[in-house]
Structure 1
């Protein structure tokens, strides 16, 4: 099992930027939503300048290296998605430069499938998903590709976001309902272009893998399918 790449720092951080009394930097970015949220959750957002500096450190994995589309990135404190959106922007820009236009829809979905995040607060989670979807849709609309709610492209993108960017507490490994946080790997199937094999796993199993612990969880199994059909979610035992 491959492991996701952790970003150099959490999306919500207290270091690096001078913040005025209203939670703004010199570039007028809003880095805090309220003093109460800072006190309750330590919520201070990373400025865009610092996001870009951090992502420059992993430029090869994001943009230039082999299999850059499938290199996984995990944000344990996603906030409103500033890191995740920047990662997607860079991957999409690299796809635009390195792939023929006919492959952009497939590769953009695999890029989206490589991005993972956990966020504690529901309003931030919604903002992160919305920001990622806006980038994805804009990329295709600029290329003249239909990406409305009726298309498989849009529906699959929404499904991948709902599966990969989730609500939960990274420290405990559980969501608000008390269920374990669960993700899925989206493996390309060799010799079957645009085909994906879904493999679920729990966040706790990632931690356990580091210490050599066994994962006894029984997971759903899924049929192989085109990546633009993942929203149809066909189970292998159905």
Structure 2
């Protein structure tokens, strides 16, 4: 690790104004790793680890999100045959969610997640330029799963209800995903039934989610 990387990693506060206004203090990487060690089975060793979902309600610049993705991808290298890495890496990405209030942090988190994902595939010589479905699907999943909004109010930066999507594997066809939109508010313990009218999407290959094909 270079000196510059050490400084960036240990930068816990961007400004005193942001701390006072938003309570913004970043978690250092060594603490992130210790916290994720507590859920190692879900992230790396347990059955169905690729699909275990994680939500970071105060995502910051993405330090937790990136660390979760790193662990899933490392475990995938050890436990999944290489022919499935493209497919499984997208399912891993689809399992990670975040909400961040501040615009610059939100943008940084999305960039960091995409960089981590693409670095993995560059390392294994998988074509992943901006013209590939792999790149487009990954960027789409990140945009859909990492929302700029307020966890406390359940509203996005436009003042609308935060919406996510579950990405279910099709039990009949490997590599096929079924998208099920839902509201963040529906996850709360005191939530009423969710009667919102969501779009319905046709099942599709996980590397074609960005095409957003609606169900007939």
Sort the TM-score into its range (normalised by shorter chain). over 0.9
CA separation of 1:212/1:36 partners in 2, compared to 1, >3 Å: closer, same or farther? closer
Give me the whole-angstrom Cα distance separating, in 1, the residues matched to 2:105 and 2:191: 33
Structure 1, unpaired ranges of 5+: 1-24
89 and 26 in structure 1: CA distance in 2 versus 1, 3 angstrom threshold = closer
Q: Does 2:209 align with 1:224?
A: no
Within-5 A mapping of 1:190-229? 190-207=171-188, 210-211=189-190, 213-229=192-208
> What is the CA distance between 1:212 and its match in structure 2?
5.8
Instruction: State the partner residue of 1:183.
Output: 164
1:107-146 equivalence runs, <5 A: 107-146=88-127
Query: Would the alpha carbon gap of residues 217 and 57 (structure 1) be closer, same or farther in structure 2, given more than 3 Å must change?
Result: same
Give the direction of change, closer, same or farther, for the CA distance of 1:57–1:196 in structure 2 (3 Å limit): same
The structure-2 alpha-carbon separation of the partners of 1:83 and 1:123, relative to structure 1 and needing over 3 Å to count, comes to same
Q: Map 1:57-136 to 2 at 5 A.
A: 57-136=38-117
Q: Distance in 1 between matches of 2:44 and 2:136?
A: 25
**Is the 8 Å Cα contact of residues 9 and 29 (structure 2) preserved in structure 1?**
no
Moved over 6 A (4+): 25-28
TM-score (norm 2): 0.95
Root-mean-square deviation (CA, aligned residues, Å) is 1.4
Q: Show CA shifts across 1:174-195 (max 9, x none).
A: 1121110000000000120100
Alpha-carbon distance in structure 2 between the residues aligned to 1:176 and 1:212: 21
TM-superposed deviation, 1:236 = 1.0
**Unaligned 5+ residue runs, structure 2?**
1-5
What do residues 92-140 of structure 1 show as CA deviations (whole Å, max 9, x unaligned)?
A: 0001111111100000000000000000001001111111111100100
TM-score calculated relative to the size of structure 1: 0.86
Partner residue, 1:234? 213
Match of 1:56 in 2: 37
Q: Residues 26 and 110 of structure 1: is their aligned pair in 2 closer, same or farther, counting only changes over 3 Å?
A: closer
2-structure distance, mates of 1:214, 1:134:
38
Structure having the larger proportion of residues in helix: 2
Task: Provide Cα deviations, 1:127-184, integer angstroms capped at 9, x if missing partner.
Answer: 1111111110010010010111000000000000000001000000011211100000
Distance in structure 1 (CA, Å) of the matches to 2:164 and 2:8:
36
The alignment partner of 2:150 has SS state of coil
Instruction: Provide closer, same or farther for how the CA distance between residues 100 and 85 of structure 1 changes in structure 2, counting only shifts above 3 A.
Output: same
